[in-house]
Amino acid sequence: MSAPPPVTYFDDDYNWDDLSTPGNDFMKAVTSHPLPPSSDAAGPKTAWNSFHANHRSATFFRPKRYLSAEFPTAMAMLDSHSTPKIMLEVGCGAGAALFPVLAMSERARTESGSGRGGVKCVAIDVSETAVELLREQKEYEGVKEYVESHVCDIAREPAPVDESSVDVVFLIFCLSAIEPELFPSALKNLHASMKPGGLLCFRDYGKFDMTMLRFSPSQWRGGTTFQRGDGTLSSFFEVSEVERMFQEAGFVVEECKYALVENVNRKTGARLKRCFLHALLRKGMNE
């Protein structure tokens, strides 16, 4: 399998301060209302099962080909030839992050499977339907010798790997979908799964992203967490908050910043300011 063409990664298209006035005005309006009563939704797991059942074409989330360019240190670790590597992807969905990362890993393409070592990947999701969809993708056929997929609620149970065995974790647009009170347990479970010196790659929604400003006060669930109409949750993160959460879970913060991307609507010419949170965390060598 040949490597796909390299991608260009953008994360500094504008200044985050540009978002502060509309963002603060939005939060002032939201918090001027009383916190709505708890939703009758059955919970994130049921909501995500329904979501994936309604999007069985698995095209709702575009392939995240930029991840290899966003996290070159992690890709270099996977491709290091010292020992076989283990990668854990959390919230795998139908493979929008998993398949592009494996395609960009030289060892995954050339050495994995058939007992050759290389890269072993464990993909997990809280949704049974998501795991079913992952296994149905045509790309899965080419990687199933070295990819395991499991249903796992990382906020409530350990990852299905040996303790201290994982080299690289990808946590991509997943933490925001978990109940905020369970953030600490999810991060501690991930920390326990990782080897000393292992890396965790984090990308999620940043505070005042344009999608946050589209929610109504009735969808507010406290802090910067909102509930979509389909029952799924979406939290939006600040840099200081992410640094604190990961440090409290035992991680060393190597990178943590907003990734600021301005997209232009080709039809209308509207400029869309997207704000994501990028972080690279490491488990200490002496743990």
DSSP codes, 30-69 = HHTSPPPPPP----HHHHHHHHHHHTTTS-SSPP-TTHHH
The one-letter amino acid code at 104 reads M
User: What pLDDT is stored for residue 157 in this prediction?
Assistant: 97
Q: Is-contact 52 93, C-beta < 8 A?
A: yes
DSSP 8-state assignment for residue 282:
E
Query: What's 237's DSSP letter?
Result: B
What's the confidence (pLDDT) of residue 269?
83
d(CA 281, CA 71): 11
Whole-structure pTM value = 0.93
pLDDT at 59: 66
Give the per-residue pLDDT at 5. 74
- Separation CA 258–CA 7 (nearest Å): 20
User: Which region holds residue 197: left if phi is over 0, alpha if psi is between -120 and 50, else beta?
Assistant: left
d(CA 156, CA 122): 18
Residue of 19, 25, 26, 60 whose CA lies nearest to 259: 19
Q: How far apart are CA 64 and CA 95, in angstroms?
A: 9
CB–CB of 65/4 below 8 Å?
yes
pLDDT at residue 55 in the model: 79
Residue 40: the pLDDT is 52
The Cα–Cα gap between 171 and 181 comes to 17
The H or E element that residue 136 is part of is helix 128-136
Distance between CA atoms of 109 and 1, rounded to whole angstroms? 6
Instruction: List the one residue out of 148, 99, 100 whose CA is nearest residue 125.
Output: 148
Give backbone dihedrals phi and psi of 81, rounded to 5 degrees, phi first. Answer: -95, 15
Q: How far apart (Å, rounded) are the C-alpha atoms in residues 8 and 23?
A: 28
In a structure prediction context, what are the per-residue pLDDT tens digits for the chain, which is 287 residues long?
556 777 888 899 999 999 999 999 999 999 998 887 766 555 778 888 888 888 777 666 788 999 999 999 999 999 987 788 999 999 999 999 999 999 999 888 888 765 566 899 999 999 999 999 999 999 999 899 999 999 999 999 999 999 999 999 999 999 999 999 999 999 999 999 999 999 999 999 999 999 999 999 999 999 999 999 999 999 999 999 999 999 999 999 999 999 999 988 888 888 889 999 999 999 999 87
